[in-house]
Amino acid sequence: MQLMKNVTEKIYLDLDATLSDTPYKWCDWLKTVHNVDWTLPQMNTYDFVFEHLGTKGEDFWRHPDVYDDVVRPLEGAVEFVEFCKSQVGSENVHVITWSSETMKEAKERHVERFFSIPASQVHHRRDKWYQSMDGVLIDDYHEHIFPHIQRNRRLGILYNRNGEYGWSKDKEHLLHADFQKHLKVLTTYDEIKEVLSRRYNHVQRNKN
């Protein structure tokens, strides 16, 4: 039987807003603590909250227990990660997330607890493209996806869950037309699964 195509390709997953419900919980926290009722579509930049509230609006992200007690997988995220593992093997499914020094361990605990991905497969860095050069990157932020596509010329999936993420909405034009073929903007896990299963079963299906 023909092996899967690109069997050594890795799948790199972002954590916050891609797998975990951090932005939704952040909105709840902002409402309770700062009495502001912002929705995700309103947040048209990554700095939206900072611009309105300064650093106090970002204290949510600094709470040491937030990844143990508050943040949870988005609906369907656990099954989605299992699907990714079934496509390329557990050892090839990695998480890349930007983390402050104090949050690293908490995030690793979270990823292991909910997604059964070991800490050795969790990478903490802002320049995600440098880690993702041997794989596909799936992330909710265009400023992570676009450099991955430009530098690695590999598939980048911009995940805008149900079209609700204001910060990455309508940004496709910022990517030069030469690179557009590597970009997919998708709004559900089912859409991503379809793209990935086409990608990894392509050789096998053609043979049968």
Name the residues that contact Mg ion, by CB under 5 A.
14, 16-17, 140
Closest approach of Cβ 143 to Mg ion, in Å?
10
Closest approach of Cβ 92 to Mg ion, in Å?
20
Q: Which is nearer to Mg ion, 100 or 204 (CB)?
A: 100
Tokens of 144: 């992570």
Residues contacting 204, CB < 8 A, separation 6+: 1, 2, 4, 5
Closest approach of Cβ 139 to Mg ion, in Å?
6
Q: Which is nearer to Mg ion, 14 or 21 (CB)?
A: 14
Q: Which is nearer to Mg ion, 12 or 200 (CB)?
A: 12
Measured in degrees and rounded to the nearest 5, phi and psi for residue 169 equal -75, 135
Closest approach of Cβ 140 to Mg ion, in Å?
4
Specify whether the backbone of 176 is left (phi greater than 0), alpha (psi in -120 to 50) or beta. Answer: beta
Q: Which is nearer to Mg ion, 80 or 200 (CB)?
A: 80
Closest approach of Cβ 94 to Mg ion, in Å?
15
Q: Which is nearer to Mg ion, 30 or 40 (CB)?
A: 40
